Structure 1
Amino acid sequence: MNKFEKGVATVFLLLFAQCLLLFFHTQFNIEDFSHYVLEYWPNYIFNLFLLYILFLFFLVVLNRKPLAWFLFFSTIVLFSIANYFKISYRSEPLLPSDFSLIFQLNQILQMMNINHMLISILLIGLILFIFIILMKMKSEKIFSNKQRFLLSLLLAFFIVSVFYSKHPNSPYQVVANFFGNHDNYWDLTEDYSQNGQIAGFIKNLDIIVMEEIPENYSIDAVNEIVEKYKQKAKEMNVGNTPLENQTVIIILSESFMDPSRIPDLELSGDPIPYIRKLKEETTSGLMVGSNYGGGTANVEYEVLTSFSVNYFDASLSIPYTLLVPNLKEVPNITNLFEHKIAIHSYNASLYRRREVFEKLGFDVFIYENGKYDLTYKNTKDDGSYISDESAYQEVLDLLKETTGNTFILLTTMQNHGPYTKEQYINLFEVINDIDEEEKVKIETYVQGLHYTDMATENFIKEIDEVNRPITVAFFGDHIPSDVFDSFEQEHEEALAFFETDYFVYSNFETEKLDYPLISPYTLGSLLIEQLKMENTPYYALVSDLKKSVPVIRWGEYYKNLEEIHIYEELPEDLKETIDDYKLIQYDINVGEQYSVDLGFFEFIDE
C-alpha cells in the first residue's frame, strides 16, 4: 500500500471506531445514531482527531502497527461495552471517576446481570489471548528512536493538556470550542452524545468541585450570611428545645419506591399496604433524587451534609470518593448528636465508606466482616443480600445498648439488583403483556418490596415498645435500574423514575407536617422541624430552601410537581437564599471554610 492508501485505511478504521463508540452509546438506536452524526458532525471530526491521538500513543509506545491497532480497538471495544452497561444500569455514561472503583471489581460484578458479567469476562480473556499471540509475532518497526522521542514529547504535552480541559483558554479547550464543543453537565449522557464519547470523557478528567466560583466570595461575604442566619435561627428556635435523649434513625432503603406510580404498570396486588397506610398517618411524601437506578452514596452524602450534589461539577460524580476524604471539616447532621452509629448491610469496600464515615464523625461503623461485624446476616428465601428483617434487628439490638441522644444511619441492601426468578417465592404477578424476562424482574423486585413492608411493620411495632423517644425517617434512595424497561421507553420523561417514597414516624405524639415533596438534602431540616429541635444557622438556611424550593434538580427548582422554574424565573428574595446556600457550599467544599470558624454549623449560645 502507498502512503495515500494507508492514510485512507487509517481514516476508515478511525471512523469505524467512532461509529462503534456512538452505536453502543445510543444503545444501538439507529435513529439516535444518525441524528447525532448529522447534527453534531463538527464535534465528531474533533473526536476522530482524539482517536488518532490515542492510536498514535499506542503506536509510539509499541512501535509495531498491528499490535497498536489491536490495543487501540481493544480499548475502544471495552470502553464501548462499559459505557453501554453504565447507561443501561444508571442512565449516565462512563466517567473517569468510575475507575476509582476498579479495586472493588468483585463487588461490582456481583451486582451485574450474569449474562453481562460472562460476556465481559470472556471478551477480556479473548483480548488478552490475542495480545499474547501478537506480542510473539514479528513485525516491522515504524519509528526511529529519534522520531519516537519527538512524538513522545508531543503526546506528553497533549496528555497534560487534557487534564486542564475545563480551564478557560487552555489549549485543549480552545481547539475543542473551535469544533463546537459545548457543556451539557445536567445530562451527561446527552453531553457525550453531542460532543462525542472521547471528548465527553476527557472533559471529566479535569475534576472541578464547583464550576462556578462566586464572585463575591470572601470572609466578609460569608460572615454576612452567618450573621443573617444566626438571627433567623434565633427566631425559629423560640419554643423549640435542645436535643435531649432523642434517638433518630435514618433508614436508606435500597431501591424502595411505590410501584403503583410507574405509568401503566398493573400488578395483581399491593405489595406495600402497611407503608402506604403509615404514610397517610405521618409526615410523608415523595423524595425526588438526581439519579436514576443508582447513586446511593450520593444520596447518603446529601442526607448527611444537606449539600446538594446538583451544585457540584459533573466531573465530581461521587463526593464520597473524590471530595470528602480531602476536606479538613465536613459539617453534617451527626454533629448534633452525642452518639453516632452507621450500619450497612453489606461490606464497606465501595465508595471509601470506612474513611468517609470516620471523617463524618461516626463513632461506630457496623458492616459485614468489619471491625464491628453484623450480628444478623439472614436473607429472605434465596435472596442475594441481607434481608431488611436482619438489618432492622441490628438496629433494635443497638437501642438496648445506647443511651442519650443517638443518631443511627442504616443503609439496607435487600432490594438491590439483579432481580432473578430464583431469589424469592413470588406472590405478585404483572398483569401487563410484556417480555417474560422483564416480567420476572418486576415480580421479583415487587416481592422484595413486600418483604420490606412486612419487616417495616414489625420494626415499627418494636419501636413502639421502647421506652424512650425514637424517630424513624425512612426513604428509598432511587428506583431500580434495568427493571421497568418497557415502561421507561414509553414514558422517558416521567418524573416517576426519579421519585421514591419517604415517611417520618415517632413513637410519641408529633405534628404531621405537610411536605409532599422533598429532596435528600432537605431531610435533615425536616427532622429538626418535626422534632422541634433547635436550629443551627445552617439548618435555618436549609429550612428556607425546603419551604420555598424543596427540590433542586439539574438546573430546575421545584415548588411542587406542577410548578417548576429555572433560576432566572425565581423571585429576587429566593435567588438571594439560593446564592447564600451556594456560597456556603463553596466555602466548605472549595474555599477556606470560614463558616466553620464563624460558628455557622453550631447551636447558638444565648
Structure 2
Amino acid sequence: MLGSLQAAAASALVLEAGTLGLFLPRWFKDLFFDSGAFYLDTLVLWVVIGFLWAVIGRLAWSIAVVLTTSVVVALANLVKMQYREEPVYPSDRDFLSEPGFLASLVSPVLLVVAALLVVGIFVGAVRLAVRIERRHPRPRLRTLAREHVLLMLGLRVGVGVLTGVLLVQAAQFNHPGNMWRGLYELRGNDWRYWNQKTNYRSNGFLGGFLFNMPVDAMKQPKGYDEAAMADVAHRYAALADRINAHRKGSLDDVNVVLVLSESFTDPTELDGFELGRDPIPRTRARMASTASGHMLAQMYGGGTANMEFETLTGQSLGLFRPQMLSPYQMLVPEHDDYPSAVGWFHGQGHDVIAVHPYRVGMYKREQVYQRFGFDDFIHDTTIHETDTIDDNAYISDEAAFDEVLTQIDDHEKPLMVNLVTMQNHIPVDGNYADPVPVSGAGGGEGRRIGQYARGLEHTDEALADFLDKLEKGPEKTIVLFYGDHLPGIYDSSVKHDNKGLALYRTPFFIWSNQPGQNVPRAIPTTSPAFFLPLLYDVADAPVPPYLAMLDAVHQHVSAIQQGRLLDASGEPVKEAELDATTRQLLDDMRLVQFDFSIGQRFALDAMWPGAVS
C-alpha cells in the first residue's frame, strides 16, 4: 500500500510538471499548501492503481501502467501548452484517431526523444515491477489454502467495487453533489474556466482535467418553456419585419462563400518584433474598401472548429458551460441534425457544399457536416487540385480557392460554400525558401515568424486573385473572409509584450461583387456568432427573426468570449454593468441558444425556418 501510494504521488508530480506551473512559486504554493490539489490528484491516481490491481491482480504492473501513462500525458500536455496555450482535455481523445496529424505538429527529433523517454520510463517501471515482485512474491492461488484463496479474491472484488464506484464518481465530476468535486472545492470554488492553463495549475492537472469532463452544454435558463419561446419568437419576428421593410437586396440568387482562413492574422499589429515587409497588403486594401474589422478568437493557437461552429450556427461558446470545449466533438454529433446556416440556405434554394483540404476525421467534421445537412463534403482526397507550395505539406490556399470557383461553375443553383483552409497550419518551420525577414526576434522564434509571414503572403496573393476572378465572373457572389486564431509560434517575450486582446484578434471582411454593396465600414471587434447578420446587412437582404435577434444583440455586445464581454464599441465590460436592455437581449439569446442546442426547439421553425434540413 505504501509503495502504491508513493507511485501515485510520483505520477501526480509528473502530471503537475507537465503544466510547468509546478516550478512557479505561486502555483507551487497553491498546489501543495493552499488548495492541496496535489494530494487530491494523488488520491485519484491511487484509486486508479487500486482498480487496475483488482482487475489484473498484479500491483507492480498496475503501477508501471499508471506511471508510464502519466509520462505520456504530461509530454502531450507540454506540447499542447507550447503550441496552443491550453492543456490536454478529455475530449482530446478524439485526436487519437488522427495520429498523422498529431505527429505533424512536432519535429521528428522531438518525437524520437519523446518516444525514447516513454520507452525508457516503461522499461524502468517494468524492471521496478519485477524487482518488487521478487521481493514480495505474488502467491500462486493453487499453493494457498482455500480460505486464503477466498480471502484474496474477496479482497480484489472489494477493492474493485470500491475503486470502480469512486472512478464512476470521477467521471461524473460535474454532476450536482459530486464527491470528488466537493473535495476539490473544500477551499471554495476556484475554477478558472476563462483560462484553462491557469485552471490546471491552480487546481492540479487531474482537478482541471476532471472539471472538463462531459456535461450538458448549457444550464436551462430561468423561465424556459414553450410559452416563453413563443413570446421571444413573436418579438423578434416583429423586429425582423421592421428591418426588412427597409431592405432592398436579396441573397436568393447569390453565391455565399464563407472562408475560414487557417491562422490568418496580421502580425504587424503585434509588438516585440518587426517584419521586413507587410505580408498582407492586398487584404489590408480590401478591408479598407468594405465592411471589416477584427474577430475575437476564443483561444490562442487553436480552436478552428469552434470559430467555424459559431459562424455557421450563430451560437456563442461564451454562453455554453465552460466545459463545452468543442461543440463539434461534444455536442453536434449527439444529435440527428443541428440548426445552422447550412439548412437555412438550402431551404432558400442554395446548394450547400463544404470544402476542407484535409482529413475528414479532424474534429469529427464528416459527422458534423452530415448533421448540418451539407450536400457534399470535398476534402483532401476528393479536391480537384492538391498543389502545395515549396516544402509546405498542406494543400495551398490557391488550390482551395480554385475548388470553390470550380464548384460555382459546375452548379446551376446558387451555392453556399463553407471553405476551411489548411495552408498556414502549424508547424511552419522550413516551409518556404524565401521567408519574410524578421528583426527583434531571434533563434527559432524569428525563423518561425518569417516562415509564417511568407505563408500569409501566399494567402494574400491567392485571395486577391480569387476575388478578382469572382468580380469578373458572371455570377453574383458575396464572401465572408476571416482568420480563426493566431498561430502558436510566439515565445513568452512576444506574449508578454502583447497582453489583453492582442493575441486573440484576427482580421475579417465581408465583400460583394455587386455594385454599391462594398461600403467602407469599420466594425468593432466581433465574435463569429454575429457574422451572419453582418453579411445580410452588407447584402441589404431580408433576415429571419433569428438573425434579427443576433443583430440586436451585436448592437449592444460586439463580442462574447468565455468570461469576457465587449460592449458596442469593442471595449471590455462586465455583465453586471450592462443596462437593462442589453441584459434582456443576452437573456433572449441564451434562451434561444438553449432551445436550439439541447432544448425542445420550440422556437426553431418560427425564428429560423429550414435551419434543420
TM-score (norm 2): 0.91
Distance in 2 (alpha carbons) for counterparts of 1:72 and 1:480: 33
Is 1:166–2:160 an aligned residue pair? no
Tell me whether 1:85 sits opposite 2:98 in the alignment: no
Between the aligned partners of 1:135 and 1:25, the Cα distance in structure 2 is: 28
| Contact 1:513-1:530 at 8 Å conserved across structures | no
Residue 490 of structure 1 pairs with residue 487 of structure 2: no
- Deviations 1:546-578, CA, capped at 9 Å, x for gaps: 221111112221126763111111001100100
> Does structure 1 retain, via aligned residues, the 8 Å contact 2:31–2:204?
no
**Residue number among 138, 142, 151 corresponding to 1:141 in the alignment:** 138
Alignment map for 1:193-592 (pairs within 5 Å): 193-210=201-218, 212-240=219-247, 241-334=249-342, 335-337=344-346, 338-369=350-381, 373-421=382-430, 423-432=431-440, 434-481=441-488, 483-491=489-497, 493-509=499-515, 510=517, 511-559=519-567, 563-592=571-600
TM-superposed deviation, 1:146:
1.1
2:31 equivalent to 1:37: yes
The one of 62, 66, 77 aligned to 2:56: 62
Letter in 1 for 2:423: Q
Q: Deviations over 1:196-226 (max 9, x none)?
A: 111221222242211x321211111111100
CA change 1:393–1:603 in 2 (3 A) is closer
Q: Which moved more, 1:227-236 or 1:357-366?
A: 357-366
Q: Is the 8 A contact 1:188 1:314 kept in 2?
A: no
SS in structure 2 at match of 1:428 = coil
SS in 2 for 1:201: helix
Secondary structure of the corresponding residue to residue 523 of structure 2: coil
**Which is worse superposed, 97-106 or 227-236?**
97-106
Distance 1:480 1:561 in 2: 26
Q: Which amino acid aligns with 1:178?
A: L
Residue 415 of structure 1 aligns with an amino acid whose one-letter code is N
C-alpha offsets along residues 107-136 of structure 1, whole Å, 9 cap, x if unaligned? 221233333322333344445656777788
**Cα deviation digits, residues 143-191 of structure 1 (max 9, x gap):** 8111001111101211221222212223333333335453222222222
* Residue deviations 1:478-535 (CA, integer Å, cap 9, x gap): 1101x12144442363311111001111112213344132211111111011111111
Q: Give 1:121's aligned residue.
A: 115
The alignment status of 1:24 with 2:18, answered yes or no, reads yes
Q: Which moved more, 1:582-591 or 1:401-410?
A: 401-410
Amino acid at match of 1:580: D
Per-residue CA distance 1:60-92 (angstroms, 9 max, x = gap): 333333323222211221121112222212111
Is the Cα contact below 8 Å between 2:525 and 2:570 reproduced in 1? no
1:438 Cα shift? 1.1
- Contact persistence 1:43–1:179 (CA under 8 A): no
Aligned residues: 590
Name the aligned partner's letter for residue 358 of structure 2. Y
Structure 1 residues 492, 79: CA separation in 2 closer, same or farther (over 3 Å shift)? Answer: farther
* 2:99 maps to which of 100, 105, 108: 105
The 3 A distance-change label for structure 1 pair 551 and 235 is same
Secondary structure at the counterpart of residue 325 of structure 2: coil
How far is 1:28 from its partner? 6.6
Measure, in 2, the Cα distance between the counterparts of 1:45 and 1:134: 24
Could you tell me whether the CA contact under 8 Å between 1:26 and 1:33 is conserved in 2? no
Distance 1:380 1:205, change over 3 A: same
- Structure 1 residues 468 and 489 mapped into 2: Cα distance closer, same or farther (>3 Å)? closer
TM-score computed with the length of structure 1 as normaliser: 0.92
Q: Distance in 1 between matches of 2:179 and 2:12?
A: 23
- What is the aligned-residue RMSD (CA, Å)? 2.3
Contact 2:49 2:59 in 1 (8 A): no
8 Å contact 2:352–2:376 — kept in the other structure?
A: yes
**Structure 2 residue identity aligned to 1:287:** M
Rounded to whole Å, the distance in 2 between the matches of 1:165 and 1:268 is: 51
Secondary structure (helix, strand or coil) at the match of 1:497 reads: helix
Question: Any gaps of 5 or more consecutive residues in structure 1?
Answer: 1-5
Letter in 1 for 2:49: F
Tell me how far 1:455 sits from its aligned partner.
1.0
User: Alignment identity in percent?
Assistant: 27
> CA, structure 1 residues 39+560, in 2 after alignment: closer, same or farther (shift >3 Å)?
farther
**Following TM superposition, by how much is the alpha carbon of 1:378 offset from its aligned partner in structure 2, in angstroms?**
0.6
Closer/same/farther in 2, CA of residues 375 and 132 from structure 1, 3 Å limit: farther
Distance 1:164 1:72 in 2: 21
Unmatched 5+ residue regions in structure 2? 140-150
In structure 2, the residue matched to 1:3 is: none
Partners of 1:32 and 1:178 lie apart in 2 by 19
SS of aligned partner of 1:178: coil
CA distance in 2, matches of 1:496, 1:127: 40
How far residue 379 of structure 1 moved from its aligned partner, in angstroms, is 0.8
SS at match of 1:550: strand
2:13 maps to amino acid: C
